[in-house]
Amino acid sequence: MSAAFATPYAGTWYPGSASRLEQLLEELIETSEQRIGAPVLPGALAVQEGAIVAAAALVGVAAPPALAVALVRRAREVLFSLPGLVAWQRAELRARMREIGLEFSGIAANLWGEKLINTDDPSKYIQEFRRNAEFAADLGIPAVRVDTVQPPTILREIDARTAEERVVRAWQACCGIAAEYGLDVVWEFEPGFAFNKPSEIVRIHDAVNRDNFGLLYDTCHGQMVAVVGARQEGEKEVLGSQLEFLEMIDGRIRHVHVIDSDNTCHKDAAGNDETSAHPPFGLGVLDFDTLFPALLKTARLKHGWITIDLCFWPDAWEATASCKQRVDELVRRYAS
């Protein structure tokens, strides 16, 4: 580094370069780092910098230039330590979850800011997926949830065949990434996203054709997609019941969400249908004594998770206890 600047050193103004100041501080740095318990944090981040500034002050070097030199000196080390800090934080969280007896059933990857269907280049989508997969692996999360990101109306702009091919290629790449971490990829189809017809769901699933890829079956979405045909573009494709739909996707389900359906969609701010409403058990029309055992028979779960999904329900926390009781009852009756 060659930029010249002035800094107080030993009570006088010493005009010199940053490299010269660094040389003058080296003696202080070595001793100060040895005296502070820096190894507690990965890379001793912030601890060493604080020690340098404090030591420099003892000989009259002001904090701003001392900190600047410390950061320049540590730039490369910090870059390599940040992943260590992230891993340390995640390990702490995982340990804390285990300590209180909790686990994660899956993660809904935050991919909604990326394009998938209306782009030839899904690299940003795939890059964001990798970040989520790394996070899932660090936290012991077994599955990463995906969807087609964009609403059904996107198919008015993009040819359906082209759109399907783009989704399939991107998800094949995501499955390859997930496989590196021993994770599954599960697609949660729903009214609010493109490809929400039963035949489309089967076709895309089978085209991805990866061992770690499967469907996330949400009983409310299943009702709205297969029986109601909510937000389907073009000619509607509906079936007589979810049981018929489950027969179509037999063996393809890897993850399960259960909640009731009242055959309506949640509304967006403008009052338009968005996606399934997810009312608590007993506030909808679903017969879980018929549906639940059929779902378990059809699914190929690699874990014991039955997840309650109260997405968009305004009083979800208050409804959780009664929903948990209902699921426990269903599990005792049909899954024991």
Both 312 and 230 in one domain: the answer is: yes
For residue 235, name the pLDDT band (cuts at 50, 70, 90): very high
User: In the listed set 93, 125, 147, which residue is the last one of a domain according to the structure?
Assistant: 93
Both 109 and 44 in one domain: the answer is: no
Both 130 and 242 in one domain: the answer is: yes
User: In the listed set 65, 93, 121, which residue is the last one of a domain according to the structure?
Assistant: 93
The predicted model gives 285-306 an average pLDDT of 95
Q: Is the pLDDT of residue 256 over 80?
A: yes
Both 78 and 107 in one domain: the answer is: no
Q: 100-146: per-residue pLDDT in tens?
A: 888 899 999 999 999 999 999 999 999 999 999 999 999 999 999 99
Both 82 and 161 in one domain: the answer is: no
Q: Is the pLDDT of residue 46 over 80?
A: no
Both 180 and 284 in one domain: the answer is: yes
Both 155 and 300 in one domain: the answer is: yes
Residue type at position 1: M
Assign residue 120 the CATH number of its domain.
3.20.20.150
Q: What is the per-residue pLDDT for 221?
A: 98
Both 37 and 121 in one domain: the answer is: no
For residue 93, name the pLDDT band (cuts at 50, 70, 90): confident
Both 48 and 75 in one domain: the answer is: yes
The predicted model gives 269-279 an average pLDDT of 95
Q: Into how many domains does the chain fold?
A: 2
Q: Which residue has the higher pLDDT, 226 or 44?
A: 226
Both 232 and 286 in one domain: the answer is: yes
Cα 175 from Cα 105, distance rounded (Å): 18
Q: What is the per-residue pLDDT for 1?
A: 28
User: In the listed set 93, 118, 148, which residue is the last one of a domain according to the structure?
Assistant: 93
Cα 171 from Cα 111, distance rounded (Å): 12
Both 8 and 121 in one domain: the answer is: no
Both 179 and 43 in one domain: the answer is: no
Q: Is the pLDDT of residue 10 over 90?
A: no
CA dist 61 → 45, 58, 131, 158 (Å): 21, 7, 41, 63
Q: What is the per-residue pLDDT for 303?
A: 86
Q: Is the pLDDT of residue 271 over 70?
A: yes
Helix (H) or strand (E) segment spanning residue 289: helix 288-298
In a domain, 98, yes or no: no
For residue 62, name the pLDDT band (cuts at 50, 70, 90): low
In a domain, 40, yes or no: yes
The predicted model gives 264-290 an average pLDDT of 96
53: how many CB neighbours lie within 10 A of its CB? Answer: 21
Q: What is the per-residue pLDDT for 298?
A: 97
Domain membership of residue 38 as a residue range: 4-93
